[in-house]
Structure 1
Amino acid sequence: MSDKENAPAPTEDRRHARHELPDELRADVRLLGGLLGQVLTESVGPDLLEDVEKLRSLTIAAYSDPSPDAIQAAADLIETFSLERAEEVARAFLCYFHLVNLAEEHHRVRVLRRREAEGATHSDSLEHAVAQLRDEIGDEETARRIQGLEFRPVLTAHPTEARRRAVAAAIRRITELLAARDAVDLGGITLADNTRRLTAEIDALWRTSPLRSSKPSPLDEVRTAMSTFDQTLFEVFPEVYRRFDQLLTGEDAGRVAPVVPPFVRLGTWIGADRDGNPNVTATITRQAAAIANEHVLIALEQVATRLGRSLTLDADTTPPSAELEKLWKAQQVLAEDLTKEIALRSPNEPYRRVLLVIARRIAATLSRNADLAYVKAEDLLADLLVVQGSLVEAGAPRAAYAELQQLIWQVQTFGFHLAEHEIRQHSQVHRETLAEIAEKGADGDLSDRSREVLDVFRAIAAIQKRYGVPAARRYIVSFTTSAEDLANVYELARHALGADAELPVLDVIPLFETFADLEASVDVLDETIKQPAVRERLAATGRRLEVMLGYSDSSKDVGPVSATLALYDAQSRIAQWARRNDITLTLFHGRGGALGRGGGPANRAILAQPPHSVDGRFKLTEQGEVIAARYGHPVIAARHIDQVAAATLLASAPSIEERNAGAAEKFKDMAATMDAASRERFFALVKSPGFPRWFAQVTPQDEVGLLPLGSRPAKRGLSMNSLDDLRAIPWVFAWTQARINLTGWFGLGTALQAIGDPEKLQQAYREWPLFATMIDNVEMSLAKTDERIARRYLALGDREDLSGLVLDEMRLTIEWVLATTGRSRMLADMRVLGRAVQMRSPYVDALSLIQVRALRVLRLDDTRPEEEVARIKRLLLITMNGVAAGLQNTG
């Protein structure tokens, strides 16, 4: 039977299912859009609003009309705009996207709070996960697994956040004003005042340049991450622990010792990841650690002071324990004048006075007052536990396990370092540095880069000495190809600090990125655990080991389908290897925000992992716009952590592991067929002669480097000779901007067609979690593509063969994805995403058409004056910013 005979039947409309907006969200969007229109009229004139409305009407009409003439009318209008007017229109649509995004986030928060108030629970929550585990493995084993739960989000500075910090701040203020309209019954003057302030903030947003004047420095990126810590993470992490503990202890919550461990540990690459980023130096890493230390100590001191002032329990009603009396005496010896002053203000209040001294000691730790400072976070924790123990002994458990417990959790979670700074460097840099040392000696006339490599180890030692070992003990080797690549790190440390010096504690983590590296991973690990330094660390850590997997480069290497299958296979083999070698394994997932970089719902991805590859521990990178989306609002952050923690626990449930193992075995032949077919199709495109040049023609790939997103260059500095050296982020970003999203789906249509049996595909979709997750993620990716717009980008190139290949595969993938899901339209069962795409797509179309115009001028007309070219590039960058905001993902 031919492929054509088995192809799914065509449908009249393969675009998107229609989803109605909730009334409250619709009202918010109408309010904010109306105020933006008022601002545009007041600041520029009614003619700007008229042009915006004309373009908006044409793209909305075209969204429902697939004929070429419909979208051409919008393109014709854009051609009539002057450069100045085109920029104004683009900025107007960009502002609109910011407002729509914040309205959607606000509505999500509104729904989450409403469900909580109604007592509703989610099927993917910790409550449901614990209930299922108890049913399957019993209470005792469930409790043991909860004690071993770990979630390790690692913030990275990958340049995928297109918004300026000033823009983000304005959006936050608008969100607060919008929330105020829900929080109280506003009316009359109060409502009018809120509307006035909203209008003023939208006016400020409109007048704020959407583009940074220069690329942010690594320390700018560090400070951006710190704002997330200050605004949400410091309070949200212990709040999640509290909610989980209430779930487990029920009515006894707050009166008995918590049973939930502080299971979140924050990591960061920001200011520490130097792979291909010459702007990250040893000095920068030290400064990044110092900034983090400052933020966490300020936060801890504020909580301790507030708690000390409120804990006014009298010694007569709540007598201090012998341990608390001993602590107070030690404090008196440490700071006689201070304790006298506090005692005068806190007569007969032993808890208040001890905690106020603790707060002063935290402040002294920040100011580096050696006489009063804590040496390490463990000393602070010990003092807090003495206070807590005394309260329990005195019969005041509610005081012991209320805000004091929150502070204890915060110290346990963040220490004095806030986040674990993880160093990353390319294996080739290590090899070249060692070769130079072998030639010249460690103290010889080394190159600047080699000296910098050695300085990093001195920085690690200094950071560990000042802030504690967890502050900087992980060292990730990107593009690990052999065990020698890991041994090189220890050798470099010895060269840096001297053979007789005490070396810093180092956990060297292999990062397997390419398809070949994933295939060789177990062999490399076999050799790695034979190394003396690794054996020593395994003995010290209870045989704990981390292995990192790269999603983005593997996808760029062999295409999204083959990469997905290869990553699953590698995880399965590594997990089996760890069990054979009695190793407690943590797999570190280098997932990006975009679907082409391993993005998508994290909880579903966790539940599709191979048996024993999770075992209650999950670690992943969080970057760019994903950090803001997942952790920018406390309610959403708490919900995200709840989902991930639930999936991390549930992934090792017997039923889940049996399901995944059984599906992998049942569909292994199907996986092999898809792998071969998709890879052949992917290589037919990317290995075609002239592909890199064509890719740069039909996407804004070259211009990505002009957009000041982050401190990292768009290409690795090791060589600049081919597409292989292009970083995965601009690779994804460029295809996304062109409305093709090729990195998320290319090759899947061919892979599904190679199976050729819709019934078998539908069975796999029902029974094989990995396959179902891949299909759903591709459907989300395809939802943000648009063939009519894509054709206009592809027309910028001179290769009809490659353009045809892309468009044919796009159509083929849509057809076979729908055949696999059994649905007639894209996003039919994804209500929230469907309405988000539906609400934004016509407006994204407008920006895309403006961007195509700018690209066409840059590509085809090199006679324009330099000043005009600069203006066109600025217009291009604004549209790139706007498309990123509209699609809600960049790289």
Structure 2
Amino acid sequence: MLRKPKIDRFNESVLSRYQIYNSIFITLPFDEISNTGVLLPLFSEICEKGYEENKNPTEIVGNFFKKYYEKPTDTEKFDLLFRFIQYIERQVVLFDAIEDATFPVVNNMDGRGTLRNIKEEAEAKNKMPELKAYLEHFKVRPVLTAHPTQFYPGSVLGIITDLATAIRDNNLNLIKKLLAQLGKTPFFKKEKPTPFDEAVSLIWYLENVFYQSASQIFDYIQDNIFGEEELNNQVLNLGFWPGGDRDGNPFVTTEITLKVADRLRSTILKNYYRDVRRLRRRITFKFVDKLITDLESKLYENIFLQSGRTTITAEETMSTLLEIREILETKHQSLFVDEINDLINKMKLFGFHFATLDIRQDSRVHHNVLSNIVEESLEMGLDIFPKNYNKLSEEKQINALSKIVGKVNPSLFKHEMSRNTLESIYAMKTIQRNNGEMGSNRYIISNNGSVLNVMEAFAMIRMCDWEQPTTDVVPLFETVEDLEDAHNVMETLYKNKAYAEHLKRRGNKQTIMLGFSDGTKDGGYLMANWGIYRAKEALSAISRKYGIKVVFFDGRGGPPARGGGKTHQFYASLGPTIENEEVQLTIQGQTISSNFGTPESCQYNLEQLLSSGIANNVFANEKDRLGKEDRDTMDRLAKISYKAYVDFKNHPKFLPYLERMSTLKYYAKTNIGSRPSKRGGGDKLVFSDLRAIPFVGSWSQLKQNVPGFYGVGVAIQEFVDNNEFDKVQSLYQNSTFFRTLLENSMMSLTKSFFKLTAYMQDDKEFGAFWKIIHEEYERSKAMLLKLTGYSELMEDTRSMKASIQVREKIVLPLLTIQQFALRQIQELNASKKEVDPELMETYERMVTRSLFGNINAARNSA
């Protein structure tokens, strides 16, 4: 029987189910206003018709109340609009749950990019030896971060999981109960989560999803590709940032870091204990029954022990499992050996650490800290730094830092940040003792722009009783300028004697992180992506020259504007000039729940990431090596778009527009993340202080999605005007990298809806600025359609487009309410009369509350 096209599977399994369950949902009475669910479809219809007739959000809301209410009071209006917000954000949850439930139906779990497909392709092309050789060293590392791009509290995530199961089982009675529960469960967090709260939320995914999915992938590779040969490469390992990411987050303390590491260890032990307990019911034979019983007891005992008091190690556990396997093979006809092998494979993947807890801090903080340490240590008479260190040239400072070793006591320093920074390094050593070296072995330097930035961190690590650190120093290059200079920075480091010796001890392997989010904010969409591509090429070349294996760690967000989009296609397109023995990337916010939230979606997307590296090497395509003319075209496109974006960013109305016409300042009020929504402490908005998430999110709330397309249209148009469009066509045909960029940009354009804010074109202050954005949207859309030959955006991915369209339709009334409230706030601020503070607070609360559903609805941006 022929498999139906993906769009048909989506319509049958997702869309039709949503229509059925939503019709049940909107009839459920959650409170005293029982007609909310009846009125919401009517409001949605008025919104759609209103925008078709070019009405603004204020007129649309006014028309609705005029048609369905007789002289409503302000209280009645506000009550109903807040009820609409509650319903809509829950409709998004319902749609999420349905997509989760039907993931294996809509997506071909054995199709292109899956392990089974890779194995069959390798067999067909006689490339099994090459595939095995590559899998002996290739790794994928997804790093879970708490960057707040999703607003679901843990209780709602639990309902999504249960709802997805009930939908999969067609359990209508349970579905109705869960929908009723959803209606009464609060979405809004009254207090900010702590970094530990964020860690606990993400550890849920490790425990309930990644533990099974990652081990199933490893089992498949071992059993079906390697067979009797032992696979001695993890293939998959997990990273973790909550509790270790100090960059801009004053709430991450050493105590929290150690607490999170303890939680990671106790959680993996709990998972092992459950597996061993099940195994004990099967392995009841002579010689092995006592071994497995003793192991069960020790694991149980250690789940609850605090750090430093553990009575079993990962090595001892592995040794016991190997002994049990040998006895089963030699004395019991290999009965239940597969189950033991599964647990051995899990131990290989997760050890006693579960996921590696990275430590991250900003280079500017390090510089300030080191200056304070120098001053205070000289005052205390400590012989660590030269007396004139702060007056030395940068080159001489680097030379001095290369020689620093010691055992400094953090408590001796008065400067709080100095104590905290040194304590975080000692915490890494503690974690390694308790959880193994993989527990915490990377120190990431944000905003890294120089050799000095790296050496300052390196020196601080070595002065913490760690002359030969078992940790990697990872510079993070983010801005356009830093990316261009990154290879020079690394070459100087490779030539530095102390640092070269450190790399030799670490297996001549250097991890380098590259930041998409801030790169896009700084340089625009095309330049950020091309800048990182070129930086990777230059870093690969310089690392190969010095015999260093470079590993790239990409800071990628959910939406294309933050480096997300079709991630596996992006990695598969990089070609041989970029080192890619490992794929490492951050997984953030809604990307965690959308791409890795269920065992099926997690396994599918991990396999897609694995296949991207394999496609790039085992099945390498010479077409993905950019020729000179194509490179020149890409370079020119990036430079033209960069100039357009920088001019736009420097427009005098850029920051005022974001501050007064968008939801930017309301992000801080949502209580979705533990860290502040901007870097600086001042009241005045400064571009460099803007965090990428509120920046990109604010454009998304306006349905303008500027960071995902601005400059693309201008760049291609210039080639058209110069009669050089054939050069862009050649690049598009020859480069999967360029095609992937444009497909992601099309996604950003598809999610834009300028009729929502069309009223702004008549604004005296911001009208001209709005038109600049709208013109570039229209230009980018026209140029992409011309280049691709499509009649509509995302023509090649109809099921994803259909999902986006359903989600956009769900949140249209929500966005209308948000814009209505923003307009009321603007009018109140412009009024010369005294403003009623209660009225202002109501409208501001309406804006804040409406942020939630729109961001959550964008989960398919990855």
Q: Do both share a fold (TM > 0.5)?
A: yes
In structure 2, the residue matched to 1:334 is: none
In structure 1, the residue matched to 2:132 is: 143
- AA paired with 1:68? N
Q: Identify which of 598, 612, 615 aligns with 2:563.
A: 598
In the TM superposition, what is the alpha-carbon distance from 1:466 to its structure 2 partner?
1.7
Q: Identify which of 433, 436, 443 aligns with 1:465.
A: 433
Say whether residues 1:435 and 2:371 are aligned partners.
yes
Aligned counterparts of 2:663 and 2:8: Cα–Cα separation in 1: 32
Say whether residues 1:424 and 2:412 are aligned partners.
no
In the TM superposition, what is the alpha-carbon distance from 1:857 to its structure 2 partner?
2.0
In structure 2, the residue matched to 1:311 is: 283
Q: Structure 1's 565 and 136: CA in aligned 2 closer, same or farther, altered over 3 A?
A: farther
- AA paired with 1:688? H
In the TM superposition, what is the alpha-carbon distance from 1:689 to its structure 2 partner?
2.2
**SS of equivalent residue, structure 1 residue 43:** coil
Q: Identify which of 755, 764, 775 aligns with 2:719.
A: 755
In structure 2, the residue matched to 1:335 is: none
Q: Is the 8 A contact 1:362 1:373 kept in 2?
A: no
In the TM superposition, what is the alpha-carbon distance from 1:474 to its structure 2 partner?
0.3
Q: Render the CA deviation track for 1:386-406: whole Å, top value 9, x for unaligned.
A: 222233334734532x11111
Q: Identify which of 679, 703, 712 aligns with 1:739.
A: 703
**SS of equivalent residue, structure 2 residue 245:** coil
In structure 1, the residue matched to 2:662 is: 699
- AA paired with 2:356? E
Q: Render the CA deviation track for 1:175-221: whole Å, top value 9, x for unaligned.
A: 2221221xxxxxxxxxxxx4333222212211222211111110100
- AA paired with 2:739? A
Q: Structure 1's 718 and 613: CA in aligned 2 closer, same or farther, altered over 3 A?
A: farther
Q: Structure 1's 174 and 141: CA in aligned 2 closer, same or farther, altered over 3 A?
A: closer
Q: Render the CA deviation track for 1:121-155: whole Å, top value 9, x for unaligned.
A: 31222334345556778433321111112011101
**SS of equivalent residue, structure 1 residue 724:** helix
In structure 2, the residue matched to 1:380 is: 317
Q: Structure 1's 617 and 687: CA in aligned 2 closer, same or farther, altered over 3 A?
A: same
Q: Is the 8 A contact 1:19 1:834 kept in 2?
A: no
Aligned counterparts of 1:396 and 1:373: Cα–Cα separation in 2: 35
TM-score w.r.t. length of structure 1: 0.86
Aligned counterparts of 2:214 and 2:545: Cα–Cα separation in 1: 35
Aligned counterparts of 1:372 and 1:167: Cα–Cα separation in 2: 36
In structure 2, the residue matched to 1:322 is: none
Q: Identify which of 526, 533, 536 aligns with 2:501.
A: 536
Q: Structure 1's 276 and 69: CA in aligned 2 closer, same or farther, altered over 3 A?
A: closer
Aligned counterparts of 1:368 and 1:165: Cα–Cα separation in 2: 26
In structure 2, the residue matched to 1:646 is: 611
Q: Identify which of 234, 256, 259 aligns with 1:287.
A: 259
In the TM superposition, what is the alpha-carbon distance from 1:666 to its structure 2 partner?
3.4
In structure 2, the residue matched to 1:190 is: none
In the TM superposition, what is the alpha-carbon distance from 1:543 to its structure 2 partner?
1.1
- AA paired with 2:293? L
Q: Render the CA deviation track for 1:232-283: whole Å, top value 9, x for unaligned.
A: 111111111223344426xxx6xx4554843111111111000010011111
Say whether residues 1:815 and 2:815 are aligned partners.
no
In the TM superposition, what is the alpha-carbon distance from 1:411 to its structure 2 partner?
1.1
Q: Render the CA deviation track for 1:104-128: whole Å, top value 9, x for unaligned.
A: 222223345xx56xxxx31222334
- AA paired with 2:859? Q
Say whether residues 1:68 and 2:5 are aligned partners.
no
Aligned counterparts of 1:422 and 1:624: Cα–Cα separation in 2: 17
Q: Identify which of 812, 835, 857 aligns with 2:802.
A: 835
Q: Render the CA deviation track for 1:515-563: whole Å, top value 9, x for unaligned.
A: 1110111111011123344323322232111111010111111111111
Q: Identify which of 840, 845, 862 aligns with 1:869.
A: 840
In structure 2, the residue matched to 1:546 is: 511
- AA paired with 2:289? R
In structure 2, the residue matched to 1:49 is: 37
In structure 2, the residue matched to 1:110 is: 105
1:264-663 map, 5 Å: 264-313=236-285, 349-368=286-305, 374-394=311-331, 396-397=333-334, 399-400=336-337, 402-441=338-377, 445-495=413-463, 497=464, 504-653=469-618, 655-656=620-621, 658-661=622-625, 663=626
Aligned counterparts of 1:825 and 1:72: Cα–Cα separation in 2: 30
Q: Render the CA deviation track for 1:483-538: whole Å, top value 9, x for unaligned.
A: 2211111322344x35xx66652210011100111011111101112334432332
Aligned counterparts of 1:559 and 1:799: Cα–Cα separation in 2: 21
In structure 2, runs of 5+ residues without a counterpart are: 1-6, 67-75, 378-407
**SS of equivalent residue, structure 1 residue 888:** helix
TM-score w.r.t. length of structure 2: 0.89
Q: Is the 8 A contact 1:159 1:710 kept in 2?
A: yes
Q: Identify which of 748, 753, 773 aligns with 2:740.
A: 773
In the TM superposition, what is the alpha-carbon distance from 1:640 to its structure 2 partner?
0.7
**SS of equivalent residue, structure 2 residue 85:** helix
In structure 1, runs of 5+ residues without a counterpart are: 1-17, 182-193, 314-348
Aligned counterparts of 2:740 and 2:261: Cα–Cα separation in 1: 37
In structure 1, the residue matched to 2:15 is: 26
Q: Is the 8 A contact 2:103 2:600 kept in 1?
A: no
In the TM superposition, what is the alpha-carbon distance from 1:302 to its structure 2 partner?
1.6
In structure 2, the residue matched to 1:89 is: 84
Q: Is the 8 A contact 1:420 1:471 kept in 2?
A: yes
In the TM superposition, what is the alpha-carbon distance from 1:77 to its structure 2 partner?
3.4
**SS of equivalent residue, structure 2 residue 445:** strand
Q: Is the 8 A contact 1:543 1:584 kept in 2?
A: yes
Q: Is the 8 A contact 1:673 1:754 kept in 2?
A: no
- AA paired with 2:296? A
- More moved, 25-34 vs 77-86: 77-86
- AA paired with 1:273? D
Q: Structure 1's 375 and 44: CA in aligned 2 closer, same or farther, altered over 3 A?
A: same
Q: Structure 1's 369 and 96: CA in aligned 2 closer, same or farther, altered over 3 A?
A: closer
Q: Render the CA deviation track for 1:653-704: whole Å, top value 9, x for unaligned.
A: 4632x2222x353312211221221112111211112421222122100111
Q: Is the 8 A contact 2:442 2:471 kept in 1?
A: yes
Aligned counterparts of 1:820 and 1:71: Cα–Cα separation in 2: 35
Q: Structure 1's 758 and 69: CA in aligned 2 closer, same or farther, altered over 3 A?
A: farther
- AA paired with 1:279? F
In structure 1, the residue matched to 2:172 is: 195
Count of residue correspondences = 808
Q: Is the 8 A contact 1:698 1:796 kept in 2?
A: no
Q: Is the 8 A contact 1:522 1:577 kept in 2?
A: yes
Q: Identify which of 848, 853, 856 aligns with 2:815.
A: 848
In structure 2, the residue matched to 1:77 is: 63
- AA paired with 2:96? N
In structure 2, the residue matched to 1:342 is: none
- AA paired with 1:858? I
**SS of equivalent residue, structure 1 residue 470:** helix
Aligned counterparts of 1:792 and 1:478: Cα–Cα separation in 2: 40
Q: Is the 8 A contact 1:765 1:772 kept in 2?
A: yes
Aligned counterparts of 2:673 and 2:306: Cα–Cα separation in 1: 36
Aligned counterparts of 2:126 and 2:157: Cα–Cα separation in 1: 46
Q: Identify which of 233, 241, 252 aligns with 2:210.
A: 233
**SS of equivalent residue, structure 2 residue 558:** coil
Q: Is the 8 A contact 2:743 2:794 kept in 1?
A: no
- AA paired with 1:36? F
**SS of equivalent residue, structure 1 residue 547:** strand
- AA paired with 1:622? I
Say whether residues 1:886 and 2:850 are aligned partners.
no
Aligned counterparts of 1:134 and 1:576: Cα–Cα separation in 2: 32
In structure 2, the residue matched to 1:129 is: 118
In structure 1, the residue matched to 2:679 is: 716
In the TM superposition, what is the alpha-carbon distance from 1:840 to its structure 2 partner?
2.5
Say whether residues 1:685 and 2:648 are aligned partners.
yes
Aligned counterparts of 1:614 and 1:397: Cα–Cα separation in 2: 42
Aligned counterparts of 2:9 and 2:60: Cα–Cα separation in 1: 25
- AA paired with 2:142? P
Q: Structure 1's 372 and 55: CA in aligned 2 closer, same or farther, altered over 3 A?
A: closer
Q: Structure 1's 489 and 70: CA in aligned 2 closer, same or farther, altered over 3 A?
A: closer
Q: Structure 1's 628 and 604: CA in aligned 2 closer, same or farther, altered over 3 A?
A: same
